[in-house]
Structure 1
Amino acid sequence: MHITRLIAFGCSAAAVALTAGSVQAQEQMQIKIGTEGAYPPFNYITADGELQGFDIDIARALCEEMNAECEFITQDWDGIIPALQAGRFDAIIASMSITEDRKEQVDFTEKYYNTPPAIVVPNDSNITGVTTEDLAGKVIGAQGSTTHFNYAEATYTDSEVRGYPTAEEYKLDMENGRLDAVIDDIIVLQEWLDSDNGACCKVVDTVTPIEEIYGEGIGIAVRQGEDELREKFNEAIQAIRENGTYQEINDKYFSFDVYGG
């Protein structure tokens, strides 16, 4: 009788544990995250094929906070919003600026970082400023379909602005003397300048972002109407800011707080 009771209790406890485990598995969210994989140090693919970067580490921390199982899908920048709308993934975590134009297509979380743009020129350039007059008559490169490209077209009206599919392609043209200047996020540019390939060039200055173009910072995009997912991301961003996880990731990549004011 005693043995029977122990066996019965053991089976009952195992059943409870199995049920609890099944419920937990059912409750775990499955999220597909779209990113570019070509924008170091925020998101990039290493030589051995691993997806890494600040965006990726933040995404993983948010997924852990949300008890979500996340899968990353790389997507060319030009098609990243259409791919989200088509259901290829559930969210974009790819250093996307929160702008009014994009809000007409997707919904955004609160920002998870905010850093300024800058202008880079060749080391022997006579360009000393970042105004319209300073760059008049020059050829300026930027990644197409970005806030940086939009800013360059709106501001440098006396210059030729060339759009590139990726940041790597404008860097290559700059290194080979086919551009007079490029514009991008200061951190992306500094990462390049600190590499062997970036020895060609120097930062002139940062650019004061125009909110109408650059928006409120960098956020996570979800499909319009996906309010529950958006709020879960917002809560997770706040949580990792408060529990120190954000700072740990920040310090892995940067020497200052990229969250911004």
Structure 2
Amino acid sequence: MRSARAAVAAIVLCLGIAAAGPEARAQAPVRPAVEAAPQAVPGFWDPRRRPERPDLSRITVIRFLTETDYPPFNFTGPDGNPAGFNVDLARAICDEIKVTCTVQMRRFETLLDALSSNRGDAIIASMAVTPQMRARLDFSDPYYRAPARFVSRRDAVMTEIRPEFLEGKKIGAVAGTAHEAYLKAMFTDAEIKAYPNDDALRQALRRAEVDLIFGDGISLAFWVNGTDSADCCAFSGGPFVESRYFGEGVGIGVRKGNDLLRQALNWALFRVWEKGRYTDLWLRYFSISPF
């Protein structure tokens, strides 16, 4: 997961192949085409299926574990305290449950051991829900997904993408990723070109070596909207979320059998979404939607 990190961890653990994580965000001038569309906020909760409120009196504190450096999801703020989308969501959850909430930042590879040794109660670190991880943890309902997206140069944006529309086109992807595997399986009449990493892939698009690139929507959203892209490119088509390739989503991990906490998290997540706080957080951290 993090480089195996999880916006793309949903991909990495689903197929057991490597992918690269998102980059830091930066502002870019507003342009026509993609940015003109309304911001899309993902929703994973059905208002007709309200979770039952568990006995919250049995929960007195939630010790969240998160990663040290995965902006904008988790990072150290200017005051030295944990910050980011995951951190703010954890605090919103604790507000709903009305319990004390602590957030401890650790290296991603130490999170599972910290949870199993009771140094924390829940992992909120963009951890993918996969069969491999379900064998080790129980998870809350998903609170976001890492969709796959196509990006093209701004003078060649496509509103819709289907395999037949890309016949003969050159499409780039990072070698060995679920994105490359998906292209090879579904876009059989396109010319698939593999690159060693995200930087090489994106440079290929800027230099017009390929017509489109295909990769993790979250990291691509930051690149498209950041200074490194030099305002060259934009999303084409919509998101791809097939779980066989791109995972079931990202959830909050708890120790196996901790049903009370898992149910409390599900109840609180629904409440945070229902009150509009989830939307507020999403729009604060994602200036251009990956969806």
- TM-score scaled by structure 1? 0.62
How far 1:225 sits from its partner (Å)?
Answer: 1.9
Question: In structure 1, what is the equivalent of residue 249 of structure 2?
Answer: 217
Structure 1 residues 199-248: Cα deviation after superposition (integer angstroms, max 9, x where no partner) = 25433333422122334432112222222221121121122223333333
Which letter maps to 1:98? V
Question: In structure 2, what is the equivalent of residue 75 of structure 1?
Answer: 107
1:174–1:182 Cα contact (<8 Å) kept? no
1:34–1:84 Cα contact (<8 Å) kept? no
Say which one has the larger Rg. Answer: 1
Question: In structure 2, what is the equivalent of residue 230 of structure 1?
Answer: 262
Structure 1 residues 100-133: Cα deviation after superposition (integer angstroms, max 9, x where no partner) = 3322232111122346321335669999968597
1:101 to 121, 126, 132: 132
Question: In structure 2, what is the equivalent of residue 33 of structure 1?
Answer: 65
1:136–1:156 Cα contact (<8 Å) kept? no
Does 1:191 pair with 2:219?
Answer: no
Greater length-normalized contact order (CA 8 Å, ≥ 6 residues apart): 2
How far 1:194 sits from its partner (Å)?
Answer: 1.4
Greater fraction of residues in helix:
1
d(CA) in 1 for partners of 2:152, 2:286: 23
- Structure 1: gaps (5+ residues): 1-25, 165-169
2:74 to 7, 22, 43: 43
How far 1:50 sits from its partner (Å)?
Answer: 5.2
2:173 to 140, 155, 159: 140
- Structure 2: gaps (5+ residues): 1-57, 186-191
Alignment coverage as a number of residue pairs: 219
Over aligned residues, Cα RMSD in angstroms?
A: 4.2
d(CA) in 2 for partners of 1:159, 1:83: 40
Identity of aligned residues (%): 27
How far 1:73 sits from its partner (Å)?
Answer: 1.2
d(CA) in 1 for partners of 2:91, 2:261: 15
How far 1:137 sits from its partner (Å)?
Answer: 7.6
2:194 to 149, 160, 169: 160
Which letter maps to 1:214? F
